[in-house]
């Protein structure tokens, strides 16, 4: 047993792909070696990934894979042996292909049910790691998720492909160099360290010493998690020393960690005059263009200080680095200020006609046409949910106008956010300005929902218009592909209807969207498909909240008019299932459903107690009459837990009814009366949830 180290040292790797490449390289290599029985269950796989290297260290790797008994079917006897029992050319060719040096006498004959077959029953010898590693690495590299391959030329004129040009290949088994050749390079024990802090190549003594030697001799932290952790801790310390709060989004942290081999944090500043620009613009400029970490003061206000992650330990304490970044950011922020100042010279309303030149979808028209549809939908929704229709219409009209601004043109992520700033500058109503920003919400899973009824009206309108339109032209999500984020739009609508307890049904919402979208000739009515899509999303959403599939189906099957009822019904179902009578009532309900389905054409609503001939019929009817009064009152008041709890007394009369009473008797009047009794019972029991779904 020994430790295996493989390193591919390259030019700078794409930072956004580094973590994924590093993890995939380690996984692919370990999977390949495990499949060949070189690894033990307790072998530890350690991935390394820095801006200029992918590497993997694996412990407890066998020097030679074990011999393995195996049985190999070769060819039929009549094909493999001639009349004298000597091997034919066919058999010899088969043995050669399998690298088996055996005599015919070493083979056994096995009948497969059709004919006799020549079979080799023996031991497959293991292979040495140094012999298997070349092909193993070639397969490992071939499976890497490289975003874009680079083709480059070697000194001998041949060309190779990889994510970036490779400079060194290290392959060590403990202290021994394993001979492999990749990208035109022979493997060795030498690699490169930090581009600026080291000059000479670094000799790696052994596989286990790799990380330590790179850190001590090369000023490189090869472990991505360790490097990121150190960087984050240094950022936090520096921010704390400045009595500031760090703005540190996860994607920025990961990208910066992928850009530096030896993270060192410095402080820098920008001119205070730029604080007059909306903070979202400043933060985005610093994060996207320069990979800086912005700071807030203890009151949450953006400061003119920011943190820079360098990979140089400067002799002057970072003064030159700080000053240089101040100069660089000044130019970037000056652009942002220019965009902001220029944009405010025109009102949002004046930009609305320009939406005619913004393409929305080739079958659904431009953004101006779409805005008009959203405006009408917003007004109708506002009336349903108690919002001001005029404010909703105004917000919908202006919602996409900031797409025509310089700032959003530079930073598309700021659409809606800049719209709110510009609306306030234009002295639009506060609710209108807020709705312009919030109508995009929720932008992602777990995002905040719009906070006002006006904002909700526009957000619902914007999303239902998108869904109805794209479903209407056949642009449905398929598999993992959802280029228009329709699943996210549907989930956003469901969350708003449920969490904001809006008094509008999903059917009404789809109908409004479909009616307003019908002005587009290419759009077909896809209401049924869209409703089914929503229900699938609702199931996913509720499962994520911890409800079981049975509980969800029991509620969804009742098709509640308002989705705001769904959580209440689910809570009631969960409470109902704790009752001792629950399982019995659910099973009885399933039995009732089956009976009613078979006799659907014979059902009537009227129950005539005079036709009861069995005491169990009368007992069930009396119990049902008593329960119905309580159930109906609680149901109308939305007390769903009370409704289901009130069903408990029905268990005993229902059980006795099915024990003693035959429903499908020959007397038609009696049969129909008993079916009517069961139908009434079924209706009473299933107002909150379809209890048969809960039957095991």
Per-residue pLDDT at 668 exceeds 90: no
At 601-658, the pLDDT tens digits run: 777 778 999 999 999 999 999 999 999 989 999 999 999 999 999 999 999 999 999 9
At 422-457, the pLDDT tens digits run: 999 999 999 999 999 999 999 998 899 999 999 999
The least confident of 81-85, 135-139, 304-308 is: 81-85
240 vs 123: which has the higher pLDDT: 240
Cα 263 to Cα 312: distance, rounded to the nearest angstrom: 8
Q: What is the pLDDT of residue 94?
A: 85
Cα 476 to Cα 529: distance, rounded to the nearest angstrom: 10
* Average of per-residue pLDDT values in the chain: 94
Q: What is the pLDDT of residue 230?
A: 97
Quick one: what percent of the chain has pLDDT higher than 70? 100
Q: Is the dihedral of CA 592, 593, 599, 604 positive or negative?
A: positive
Cα 405 to Cα 416: distance, rounded to the nearest angstrom: 11
Res. 329 pLDDT band, cuts 50 70 90 = very high
| Nearest Cα to Cα of residue 59 among 21, 26, 19 | 26
| CB-CB contact of 659 with 685 (8 Å) | no
Largest CA distance in the chain: 105
At 234-273, the pLDDT tens digits run: 999 999 999 999 999 999 999 999 999 999 999 999 999 9
Model pTM? 0.81
Q: What is the pLDDT of residue 600?
A: 78
78-86: average pLDDT = 86
Task: Please report, for the chain, the start and end positions of each structural domain, with discontinuous segments joined by +.
Answer: 2-64+129-218, 68-124, 224-343, 349-546, 567-694
Res. 14 pLDDT band, cuts 50 70 90 = very high
Cis peptide before 442 (omega within 30 of 0): yes
CATH code matching the domain that covers 349-546, chosen among 1.10.3210, 1.25.40, 1.10.3810, 1.10.357: 1.10.3210
Cα 661 to Cα 619: distance, rounded to the nearest angstrom: 12
Q: Residue 289 carries which DSSP code?
A: I
45-65: average pLDDT = 96
CATH code matching the domain that covers 567-694, chosen among 1.10.287, 3.30.160, 1.25.40, 1.10.730: 1.10.730
**Cα dist from 177 to 129, 213, 358, 449, whole Å:** 12, 17, 60, 59
């Amino acid at each position: 047993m020994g430790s295996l180290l493989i390193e591919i040292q390259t030019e700078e790797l794409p930072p956004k792909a580094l973590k994924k490449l590093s993890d995939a390289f380690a996984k692919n290599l370990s999977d390949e070696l495990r499949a060949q029985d070189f690894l033990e269950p307790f072998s530890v796989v350690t991935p390394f990934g820095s801006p200029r290297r992918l590497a993997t260290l694996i412990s407890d790797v066998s020097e030679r894979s074990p011999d393995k008994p195996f049985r190999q079917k070769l060819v039929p006897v009549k094909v493999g042996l001639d009349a004298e029992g000597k091997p034919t050319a066919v058999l010899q060719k088969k043995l050669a292909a399998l690298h088996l040096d055996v005599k015919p006498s070493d083979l056994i004959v096995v009948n497969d049910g059709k004919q006799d077959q020549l079979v080799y029953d023996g031991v497959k010898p293991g292979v040495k790691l140094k012999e298997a590693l070349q092909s193993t690495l070639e397969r490992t590299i071939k499976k890497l998720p490289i975003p874009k391959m680079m083709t480059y030329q070697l000194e001998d004129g041949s060309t190779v492909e990889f994510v970036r040009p490779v400079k060194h290949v290290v392959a060590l088994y403990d202290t021994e160099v394993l001979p492999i050749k990749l990208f035109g390079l022979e493997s060795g024990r030498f690699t490169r360290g930090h581009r600026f802090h080291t000059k000479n190549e670094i000799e790696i003594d052994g596989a286990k010493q790799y990380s330590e030697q790179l850190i001590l001799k090369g000023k490189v932290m090869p472990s991505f998690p360790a490097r990121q952790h150190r960087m984050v801790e240094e950022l936090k310390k520096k921010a704390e020393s400045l009595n500031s709060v760090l703005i540190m989004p996860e994607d920025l942290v990961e990208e910066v960690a992928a850009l530096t081999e030896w993270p060192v944090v410095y402080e820098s500043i920008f001119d205070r005059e730029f604080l007059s620009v909306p903070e979202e613009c400043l933060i985005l400029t610093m994060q996207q263009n320069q990979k800086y970490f912005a700071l807030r003061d203890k009151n949450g206000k953006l400061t003119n200080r920011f943190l820079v992650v360098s990979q140089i330990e400067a002799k002057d304490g970072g003064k030159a680095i700080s000053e240089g970044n101040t100069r660089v950011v000044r130019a970037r922020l000056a652009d942002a200020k220019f965009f902001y100042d220029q944009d405010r010279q025109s009102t949002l309303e004046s930009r609305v006609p320009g939406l005619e030149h913004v393409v929305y979808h080739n079958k659904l028209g431009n953004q101006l046409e779409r805005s008009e549809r959203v405006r009408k939908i917003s007004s109708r929704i506002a009336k349903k949910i108690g919002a001001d229709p005029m404010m909703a219409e105004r917000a919908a009209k202006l919602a996409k106008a900031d797409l025509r601004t310089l700032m959003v043109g530079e930073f598309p992520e700021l659409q809606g956010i800049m719209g709110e700033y510009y609306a306030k500058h234009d002295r639009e109503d506060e609710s209108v300005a807020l709705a312009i920003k919030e109508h995009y919400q929720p932008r992602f899973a777990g995002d905040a929902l719009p906070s006002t009824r006006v904002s909700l009206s526009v957000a619902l309108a914007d999303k239902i218009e998108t869904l109805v339109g794209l479903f209407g032209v056949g642009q449905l999500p398929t598999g993992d592909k959802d280029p228009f984020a329709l699943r996210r739009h549907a989930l956003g609508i469901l969350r708003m209807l449920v969490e904001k307890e809006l008094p509008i049904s999903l059917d009404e919402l789809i109908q409004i969207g479909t009616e307003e979208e019908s002005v587009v000739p290419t759009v077909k009515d896809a209401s049924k498909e869209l409703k089914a899509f929503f229900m699938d999303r609702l199931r996913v959403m509720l499962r994520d909240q911890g409800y079981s599939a049975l509980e969800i189906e029991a509620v969804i099957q009742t098709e509640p008019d308002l989705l705001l009822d769904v959580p209440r019904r689910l809570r009631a179902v969960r409470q109902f299932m704790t009752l001792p009578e629950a399982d019995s009532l659910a099973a009885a309900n399933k039995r009732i459903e089956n009976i009613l389905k078979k006799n659907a054409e014979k059902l009537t609503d009227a129950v005539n107690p005079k036709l009861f001939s069995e005491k169990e019929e009368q007992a069930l009817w009396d119990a049902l009459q008593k329960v119905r009064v309580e159930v109906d009152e609680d149901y109308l008041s939305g007390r769903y837990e009370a409704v289901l709890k009130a069903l408990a007394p029905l268990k005993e009369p229902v059980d006795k009814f099915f024990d003693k009473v035959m429903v499908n008797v020959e007397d038609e009047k009696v049969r129909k009366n008993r079916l009517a009794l069961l139908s009434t019972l079924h209706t009473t029991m299933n107002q909150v949830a379809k209890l048969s779904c809960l039957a095991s």
